[in-house]
Chains A and B, each alone.
Chain A
Amino acid sequence: MRNAFAQEMVLAAERDPRVVLLSGDIGNRLFDPFKAAYPERFFNCGVAEANMMGMAAGMAMSGLRPVVYTIVPFVTTRCLEQIRVDVCYNAQPVTIVGVGGGLSYASLGGTHHACEDIGFLRLLPGMAVVCPGAGAGVRAGLRAALAHPGPVYLRLGKKGEQLVHTTEPELQIGRSLTIRSGTDVALLAVGHILPLALATADLLEGRGLSTRVESFHSVKPLDEQCLAEVFANYATVATIEEHSLIGGAGGAVAEWLAAHPGQRATLRAFGLADRFFHESGSLAHARRSLGLEPEVIAATIAGV
């Protein structure tokens, strides 16, 4: 996802002279093509994220379209007040890009885990929260973010994820993407965890449950049309995300459900418990240890 983002940034800068890229002393070599093509539009802002976010707001106030990039915790909670006041309160079109969403950087430890960011950012008035699926969704997500009139948080995984889309989808903020169709269960997969949702769907099909999978990238604004449709027509709707069960996409859908009672479907939310994860090791290990696995999710949905 990271490399797709870096490649798309060059194209974005080519399309729109207002686009500038701010990075928090990260992405060594990653942005070399951007720097080669547009050296005056790349700013290494150092390890000073509060200033980086405030500057991005000031640049947007002056007519630029800044994209701010670093690892999720540092581009979100580290400078949350600057996002809230400088970007959101001032209503500036800043695109905030976080790499390493969820447990992508599991091995780096709790400082680098990113399992509360969706909650923090979707709480901010005017902020759109977009979590593209792997591969081509990142490019389309960046294009959609830069076309959006207000601030956008784009939550990425890291590199080397399995690509789900073979052709590039048209991604719209506020509209989810149907990845595969089904009639009994609807899985709403948030961001880079999409392949895990597809594996879960395979298991559910094996249990006789026809399963639809949505790339539910737009956590805010929600795709209300999609929600109305799946809650009216399916037995189970399940959100799957690498995020705390508090405040994430599951919470957002539960809020929608509270405002739209009397639905046919039951909502299940799959995500992470309200605690920090202290074990070393890989993303695969962390997901296993935390129960974020196709087998566990499928068994829970199937009721066995």
Chain B
Amino acid sequence: MAQTETLDLARIAQSLRRRIVTMSHRGRTPHLGSSLSCTDILAVAYFASLRLDPANPSDPARDRFILSKGHAAPALYAALAERGFFPLADLDRFNADGGVLAEHPPPNIVPGVEAATGSLGHGLPIGVGMALAGRLQQRDFRVFVVLSDGECNEGSVWEAAMFAAGQRLDRIIAIVDYNRWQATGRSEEIMALAPLAKKWEAFGWTAHDVDGHDHGALRELLRRVPDGSGRPVAVIAHTVKGKGVSFMEDDNNWHYRIPNEVEYAAAIAELSA
């Protein structure tokens, strides 16, 4: 990838992070760490990978993106607004009384949101259904599903994984935001998650470990799907929870904490450097 494009994605990701921190601070909402850990994934997906037209959000030929870890909704809203699906000013109404940008993505209301999520373990089955429909309709769209590592606790993730591999659905991509934390502890300590890539491989997927903050590497992996093997593709994106704000990085208190005025100013200063 050309160096200018990498710089562009870096600039976009920083912009998304500022918007996310602002939404959490003003909207008084948690899940900031979870939103920041997947920000680079969304930046690459929306600005370098997905085939989308914000002016025609229900184009049947579009690529699909499902944020299965719906609690990172601020990251999704910021990416959609930055990409032009709705006005950036709408982000000011995040979590506002009577608004549409709720703490988890709602259905059929927000342009670009493909499915309501928030309950974990739902996005991959829905995405597999979309991929099956695409094959039946002879469309060549791809389906991106972003999951959290904690979400991989859910049995339905593995039901969908087995089914997709059995059907040889090679246009579905599961991206696991592997920040090694879930709500109340280390994901590896709560359930035996590792070796995560090997688990997906054992379920019949091609799995790639990647630095989930490396825009170039992410973009290159996503570009290579389908990869000709007939297998669905899992991207195990190794990430840092709270990425981009030094005092939030890898501190799981920021799963629930909401930045106060001082913290907010410090975070914005870091993200504006």
Contact = CB atoms under 8 A, between A and B. Distances in A.
Contact of A64 (B107, B124, B133, B159): B133
Contacts of B4: none
A55 B116 contact: no
Contacts of A60: 129
A62 B137 contact: yes
Contact of B129 (A48, A56, A85, A89): A56
A56 B122 CA distance: 12
A144 interface: no
Interface of A: 20, 40-41, 43, 45-46, 48, 50-64, 66, 81-82, 85-86, 89-91
A55 B107 contact: no
Given A20-B136, A63-B133, A85-B116, A55 B155 contact: no
Contacts, number: 100
A159 B90 CA distance: 55
A86 B130 contact: no
Given A57-B129, A61-B133, 15 more contacts: A41-B136, A46-B166, A50-B125, A51-B125, A53-B125, A54-B128, A55-B160, A58-B125, A58-B129, A58-B130, A60-B129, A61-B115, A61-B130, A62-B137, A85-B116
B160 A51 contact: yes
Contact of A43 (B60, B121, B122, B132): B132
B125 A91 contact: no
> Which 4 pairs between the two chains have the least Cβ-Cβ distance?
A58-B129, A54-B125, A62-B133, A55-B129
A256 to B, nearest CB: 29
A118 to B, nearest CB: 23
A286 B164 CA distance: 41
Contact of A91 (B107, B114, B155): B107
A50 B130 contact: no
B171 to A, nearest CB: 12
Contacts of A53: 125
Nearest to B123: A54
A244 to B, nearest CB: 26
B144 to A, nearest CB: 13
A82 B118 CA distance: 12
A86 B126 CA distance: 8
